[in-house]
Structure 1
Amino acid sequence: MDKINVEMEQITRAESVEMDDQKLVYDSSVDHKGRVPLRSSTGVWKASLFIIVIEFSERLSFFGIATSLIIHLTKVTHQDLKTAAKSVNYWTGVTTLMPLLGGFLVDAYLGRFSTILPSSTVYFLANKISAPCNFQHEMACFS
């Protein structure tokens, strides 16, 4: 009788471990505390909406700066058109290639979760602070 009870307990434990395994994510994902997350609490649109909003605001900032950068360099810093165009091309190249360096540093050393939120916060605050100043300054250049 004891053998039957022991076998039943082993089967019950194995089924419980198997069910727990099905509830966890096993694609090398970890939560912010380094634990394997539950399937029910990951995915869907929770993180995706945050990333979409950040990417949208980044694109708006990039093209907002790019459209008025030559005017700023020629009118405010008094560069000639050739030098201003060269500077804009350098700026575009650097802003295009920097995510490769940043992605390597984040993946290799810093970690996704400990980097995305602080860098997004700094990015948002810098845009929020500099946008009114840039707008007033650019309007003064056009007049």
Structure 2
Amino acid sequence: MTVPEMDRTHLLRAAEIVRAAYEEAMRRHGFLSSTIRVVSMYAEQSLAELDAASEDERDLDALGRALGDVAGGLDVLIKRAPDGDVRLHVNNPQVGGRFCEDVSVGYRDGVRVFLWSWGEAIASIGELGEAARRLACALDG
């Protein structure tokens, strides 16, 4: 099980526990139906956002592994911003760390792609090897 899957599993279990405790408390006081609908709506929205971020994280993790196959020696780290934005930070320590890039995932013409930090497409998600080669070439001192 990957880290995003474990995070999701733990979040789902915690949500079940909280929901059960909340339902019992609301049942005792007669406020259950309308309140639980509001709580459920927010929980479902949060889980949908987590699913979207997890997909990006899985794709970026795959790119990081592909980079290891194409060009050893690059440092890769997945970073998550407070707003939920996920990026793959790639650094070439062989040139003193001067060459680095933050890759993200987005859409261009309806296709999911890896993006350079300035927003230009590197390659589609399906072209993992090509994306890794282009990134390694750009970071080669």
Higher helix share: 1
TM over 0.5: no
Higher strand share: 2
Structure number with greater Rg is 1
TM superposition score normalised by structure 2 = 0.30
